[in-house]
A and B are shown apart, each in its own frame.
Chain A
């Protein structure tokens, strides 16, 4: 583990001289208490009195403290970078760099622990503080000699034991800072045993009047170790809090604020930049796979820019959106793109649109991602958060020394899996048997057999078309830092990925991320301004070649003629196929520019009362061109064909403004935090789809002006307005009992005028039972224990805009207008009562920490019930239309368990090993659906069964007498002519039953190895289980594509009496095949265990770097989707498609340089 030093070191350095530092290491926990007896910032000019007082205090402390330190007259600094460096070695480095001599007794160093530090130009004393942190040593400096002394083992002293007089009543005032001297605003200072307390102001200053002398002050701050301090009269206190080392105290971002796992009442999971950076992915969502309990992510295809499906705690909605709410730096971000040109299907579908908008966010710009799941965490997002929320926080600058980081990696990608397909011998045997069975002989278009194609050729088209190596290149550079009140971060990124297809196809993007933070000098006003801009150019092809690769007959001709030109294999003057390489000419070209910006301003009105405003603006522009040149068409058809091209223009612009107030206040022994705010949000979505036809050259296809005729195919213009008031009350009683209430009143333009406003609310509580006296007095192996419960309502407003309006638009196929004028036609029945779907979430959680939080267990049980489903509700046609979109009291329940376990298994002498494990067991059930049998969903769902289940015929195998598939009808009788719908008796749930991940991190000296296994238990209905009409052939030149089959179809029926899983080969179309592929015979186990990610890195030894003035160099190898263990018969158990490229196995080599 690399400890990054707190910022503002450089800023401290210049104040070093003349400062007296007193160190009193807290032995048990290795903390350092530092009292700065310096001119406090909040006081006037230093007076003589103050100096004298300070000296008095110094003398007092010197007599009691274990060691003394005098500040060095010279500002010596140390630069150090190393992992698990023996202390002895550290001292020699200090000697080298400072010219000081370090005195120590070798015998005392037996108890020393190795040092892991990465610092640059750190003042000597600060460096020693860091190096000796947690060690049983103190130090003192005399002239140029550093004396290391062993500290006496003392009782855990929390503060200098001061002389306690009679219980006088005194006023206490002081200042709370972090270990770098930065003031800590909002820290809580309470008097132990008394219901009294205050918050520190913007300068970290507090004042407590009328406190009994000798009473104990408790000083605490989120993410820092709490300190206790005995009160005494006189001097202002300077209290320094140091960062907590427990993962329970790490900051967790939640809606409109932060918390920690220790005090959180909700179910929130965090993935940090370290884990994201280890993964060579182009979409940050893919970096979450297998890492977050309750979150299931699947990638649609292996082409860059692929669609990604995200489900948090299952599928809540039958017919509407199931995507979570994305919030980047407090600003909502689109969860889906606008459905684009039909041809861009190569990217796959997510949320009803091609591709995924998160592809346009640079993963390297992300500091952490929080996944919000339960009602407590999400109810404050109201109508938008029924499907959970994913909060993305981008990287910010930190005060202190300027950091320059450069990461460069290069790598290669291959398709993870192929289908085992027949070779030519097997294929031709199948075809001939099919002709025999059908009593037919090859016809003029059976090119594979009739002499048109060379039947001695055998090609595995998967190798030819999908067997290529994708190139992966990624470079990131950032500069960050800050001084005084201002911090900054500037990052640049470049990313390029190619495909496994032949041809020069690539997706590349360049991005910039910046952040500026500034405090006013009185620290009352703070502003953070962040921006991300990414320009992406995705240059693919209109069609995924996977379908061709799988179905093309193995004896299909060579791609090229001897002269190098494309081979169209003409037979009797007619092309016998569409050469797969010709598809490369039909380019899909998408250029996307994405800007996200946010500004967060905070003003401290009064101590504890803050006014915050978050402003955001985002703009996504995507211009897509798909061209249809003549070169993609068989040569003999070109004279009668037209060139065409399609143009898609998408613009999604959105702004939001969210002012809110937070107020922290002590009530009794508890800390009350209240929040109230309002949201204004507008999203403008526009899309225009133009097509041009009749160009006179392939070269001008991207110029719409060159088209002979241009048609506007479709246009979308929608406006979404959203307004809400929200609030939260959080009461924390002594870190033992924590209560939280959230409420939101939402108004949305998506809903009918009669239902524009609605309330959402939640309540939660947590009981930290490990803080109860009966447990905390005897700290055993249980170091932390918390029980949580939450309940509340959230809404789903992903129903599209204008659903409530009766819209009139031009009907399809009316191209000339009527009497030359455009015409209008109503699109459906308006429903002014349209409303959101509602999800009631109930959760129970248990958080446990063992062995000083080295082992953390987190378990959640959830039960989410979604009702008010927005469905297409059947009406008689006499109402004008057969249906209306209406909220319907169908209820869906998602329930399950989420368990995660984090363990630091071993950490000593340069070796460390930690393990993370998570598992989610989920169940989906349709609880009720009034009048299901009469609805249009009668054949889709069944009450008591999952809505994620697909319905099929129940297959009874192959009829031994006829050789064709038979299935059971609704009464269970075997039939070869079932009724589609009513006879669907088999129900197969294709949603994962359970899933999770297991991650291990092993570090030794400068090496670190991290590997993550993802596991999923699921079934899939995979139509290729039965082949695709085995025995039939259709060339791509004939419009269809039938041919090769997976080898397992060889176990087919051959003669009466055979019992076989596959029906007879035949060249004729037969209904039995359709019935078979609509049956549960296609269902197979699609469970898999995947070595999702491996990251191996080596940190170069510090001494090598010093000469080059480098902070750190790390060499690394990253791998994604490396191994897949599955029984799944198809290509990839995650994407489960024969139409799209499987996700790629990517291996990259790279270097990280820190300057």
Chain B
């Protein structure tokens, strides 16, 4: 097996330009690595034949951009034309879409090669990817641990070094939390930055697609390709295209950082807090001002999130009824039997639970009591966070309260999965950008992540700070998940 995929994207680009390697060689290596890592269960569907053909067709084309000819993995809730898209659910396990998501059109326009669809929690509902109909992915740093979720497959395959790029989606931490557990870089951009057209909706007002990569620079490169106003998504922003790598390497001196006391409270493991404090010390040395403060509503974020996310999900998932696509109950007696049977058979437990709670929350007077109230407190929460950004450039904290836990840990407590995301959820609620970068390992050699929260549309500056920390910590190499073990 060649070992080109251990090189940086910049290096690969140079080699491709000089025709020293071909896209096909990269795709072949990619599939060899995936084959080798089969037991990590990072993928639901692989698209080897088409990917190889696509790679061949690129051989005589000019290498017109830095992403040209590079393989990418796509989370399985992002619609890919002619390539099965399951959302890790039985209800869509035979679903072959007839259109491409806007982000997929964009990566195809950059001549990137989709190699397959990554594993995830069913309909992105969960934080350990264990609600997948196809079984959970395994953490590259310790096979007995979870990869996190819901973008667990994407985090796993990046961490394993199978592929340089992956797309994830983040409704309540689903990019950043698995990125933290697997020790990779994951960005949830500002709500509206990337078109949601073709992202199978979980909670429409919170969902956002984002890039997952090994390092900060490459993350910014992929984000460059994904953004832009999309007339097919009215919630997408009119912000002009920009180069997110442009500030990387510039001085971070004089930046101002806020750390909410809640993010460093008893809810977080001591070991993680220590690593974050180490990082803070590093920043202070560079004349970065760091203040600890209280930010209102952060403690309420999970409750509000549950109401909004489950309410919206109950409606978004109503379309899976067995009539037009996807799984359908065989020989139904009547229409009700088709509805009940299809959804009974097709959805897993967690999805059913959330649909039921969501339906209840929107039912009759409850909509006023819960959903509308949650929307209004959410506005207050957003204002409280934006107020902080009046004085500070970033809000920092740990991404997760613990490191990745055991796959066999109980799933009986449904609220556990939300509490895993207590530190990342406020970002979605306020529509802010949030980024995870690895900052070290725990005593049991599991990755610890730093969470950088930025102002709306301030991703470039977040990459600037993240790249600085990455470099200071000597993590800007292409470390492969589990390397510390070898």
Do chains A and B interact in one complex? no
Residues of chain A touching chain B, judged by Cβ–Cβ distance below 8 Å, are: none
